[in-house]
Chains A and B, each alone.
Chain A
């Protein structure tokens, strides 16, 4: 096996459901040991991409390869190399933790001796050991996600596909979960992870921001804000609603004003606009700072450009 070659290679993928285009002209490569994040809202096409990689859905056009096997022509080969965790919890609620693990070990034909060793290891790192005999239905949200992950890891796949594994999971469980994903990547697995949480982009090695089936931009998460082509002001005001109304009336045209709790974010373009904003707020007891854009800010502006294109 040549480890320099990508674990997942997607080229010019295209997929439509009737008239709805789910994925358009998508190309990406994931290397072993890499966490690749698909970041975007519901309906962006993340799930479709993941199902294509998992050989669950055929692309209408383009090519998808997992560990060198084409998903269209060799789906069974692909399935031997992947672990897939769907967005919806899809283990058997009436089976215990141990029985669910056992079931997937058998489906992948993991030898018994191996199975016992792996089960112990997975129990340890997912901290599900004390709950072996508990039915899956009775686990908490975070524990369910960890069990689902453990089940997909039973056959030590080279490629892990995780569809919104942390949606609806509280921040603490999310942090734990991401720690596990980092460990897996460190051991050489390639991970394709989707998430609607922009802040989780920072936990990936590389990300693609997706919207309406298209990749808005891709790259290392810290490079993403470089695509933000505007300027951003943060305004901390005593009376935020009043400051907002004032900006909307006397501020320059074409700016975006969003409230974030006790402050406002204003996206603008030119130094002239900035002067207007400052003079407009002169009577408010407002502090005005220039702040660096976040990934979410970048996403929003790219989204606007994408839809106006």
Chain B
């Protein structure tokens, strides 16, 4: 216990004396929340779309009204001719243009195929896809309404091939921010500890420490404890930023959220230490930390790609991703006000304990294997 405390104290000094790294550990997650949060959020709302309405009919006006009803798209004004399209794209006046050709209303009422064209600025691929998806969704709804209004006699007048890549609910920041928090937290926390042991291997202090009767678990736990503070601070900042800046609701309890978050942070730190215990250099450790967290978490946690629509091998793999459970908990607490997640809690506890045990076992107290 005393040795563990000694290591924790020493580690604490390292943290507070390396002001630049500490500032980075705090500033980086915040910056990432803002950057990614805004970037993802912007795609979901207030996209300027121009309208070139050659039909000037009640039906065409109805289509425009439906299109701009949500927050997703704002009406960027009427265009008079095709020539304005290119100019508008170049000047960034809008990201897409809805072209309603002459005879739209007539086609609709005579149950012909009615054509509507969407011109999207392909230079910004992500936005293009988002606008495309959204307008397609709007048109799909119109189709449905029109068919229903006709009593089912009508065939869908507008043909579409809509495929939603992500965020099928076209949901807002409410849904994005919890996932983002999970990704950022695991990345930062794993990075924090991934160099904690390799650094000492590189500077040679590990050699000195290993000649003392210190046990592996004392080193591992001693190093986890102080970084819990940094991890907790990061978690608080990221979640508060989500609440304050992006307006994510808080239907549940902050205290309960804090408890689950600490557990998640502990898993991340333990994973970092495991990486640190089995690698030799700081550079390898950091690469492993980034590769091992960022991509798998983004792809497999359900943050962006719904787990239910993955092929089964990936679904199976997603069970190994801690963020999967944390995101479920976050969304549950923040959006639905739930408090008790026995399954996720149990799995996460096993993960934390398992990773710590593994880190202790893989920590070498001889130099031969370093």
Q: Which of A51, A79, A82, A102 lies in contact with B367, CB distance below 8 A?
A: A51
The reply to whether B368 and A91 form a contact with Cβ atoms under 8 Å apart is no
User: Which residues of chain B are near A58, meaning CB under 8 Å?
Assistant: 366, 368
Q: How far is the CA of A215 from the CA of B312 in the complex (A)?
A: 64
A92 and B14 in contact, given A80-B213, A107-B6 (Cβ under 8 angstroms): yes
The reply to whether B208 and A91 form a contact with Cβ atoms under 8 Å apart is yes
Q: Which 8 A-B pairs have the closest CB atoms?
A: A106-B6, A84-B211, A90-B204, A88-B204, A90-B208, A107-B212, A79-B213, A56-B367
User: Which residues of chain B are near A104, meaning CB under 8 Å?
Assistant: 212
Q: How far is the CA of A136 from the CA of B18 in the complex (A)?
A: 15
Which A residues contact B (CB, under 8 angstroms)? Answer: 51, 54-58, 75-76, 79-80, 82-86, 88-95, 99, 102-104, 106-109, 148, 151, 161
The reply to whether B3 and A90 form a contact with Cβ atoms under 8 Å apart is no
Q: Which of B10, B18, B366 lies in contact with A103, CB distance below 8 A?
A: B10
A56 and B10 in contact, given A75-B365, A80-B213, A109-B2 (Cβ under 8 angstroms): no
User: Which residues of chain A are near B207, meaning CB under 8 Å?
Assistant: 56, 86, 88, 90
Q: Which of A55, A84, A94, A151 lies in contact with B14, CB distance below 8 A?
A: A94
Residue ID in chain A nearest B207 by CB atoms: A86
A-B contact pairs, 11 of them (CB 8 A): A55-B366, A56-B210, A57-B366, A58-B368, A76-B213, A79-B211, A79-B212, A82-B211, A107-B7, A109-B2, A151-B208
Q: Mark B199-224, 1 if CB is under 8 A from A, else 0.
A: 00001111111111110000000000
Q: Which of A86, A93, A108, A148 lies in contact with B212, CB distance below 8 A?
A: A108
Q: How far is the CA of A76 from the CA of B210 in the complex (A)?
A: 10
> Nearest-CB distance from A74 to chain B (Å)?
11
Q: Does residue B91 face the partner (Cβ distance < 8 Å to A)?
A: no
The reply to whether B204 and A89 form a contact with Cβ atoms under 8 Å apart is yes
Q: How far is the CA of A252 from the CA of B9 in the complex (A)?
A: 69
Q: How far is the CA of A84 from the CA of B5 in the complex (A)?
A: 22
Residue ID in chain A nearest B211 by CB atoms: A84
The reply to whether A94 and B5 form a contact with Cβ atoms under 8 Å apart is no
User: Can you add 4 more A-B contacts, CB < 8 Å, to A79-B213, A103-B9, A106-B3?
Assistant: A55-B211, A90-B208, A148-B208, A151-B208
A57 and B368 in contact, given A91-B205, A103-B10 (Cβ under 8 angstroms): yes
Q: How far is the CA of A161 from the CA of B365 in the complex (A)?
A: 18
The reply to whether A108 and B213 form a contact with Cβ atoms under 8 Å apart is yes
Interface residues contributed by chain B, number (CB under 8 Å): 27
Q: Does residue B166 face the partner (Cβ distance < 8 Å to A)?
A: no
Q: Does residue B17 face the partner (Cβ distance < 8 Å to A)?
A: yes
The reply to whether B2 and A99 form a contact with Cβ atoms under 8 Å apart is no
User: Which residues of chain A are near B368, meaning CB under 8 Å?
Assistant: 57-58
Residue with the greatest number of chain A CB neighbours at <10 A, chosen from B212, B214, B365: B212
In B145-181, the 8 Å CB interface with A consists of none
User: Which residues of chain B are near A88, meaning CB under 8 Å?
Assistant: 203-204, 207
User: Which residues of chain B are near A80, meaning CB under 8 Å?
Assistant: 213
Q: How far is the CA of A99 from the CA of B365 in the complex (A)?
A: 23
Q: Does residue B341 face the partner (Cβ distance < 8 Å to A)?
A: no
> Nearest-CB distance from B369 to chain A (Å)?
10
Q: How far is the CA of A39 from the CA of B210 in the complex (A)?
A: 25
Q: Does residue B36 face the partner (Cβ distance < 8 Å to A)?
A: no
The reply to whether A106 and B5 form a contact with Cβ atoms under 8 Å apart is yes
Residue with the greatest number of chain A CB neighbours at <10 A, chosen from B14, B208, B367: B208
Q: Does residue B13 face the partner (Cβ distance < 8 Å to A)?
A: yes
Q: Which of B9, B18, B211 lies in contact with A56, CB distance below 8 A?
A: B211
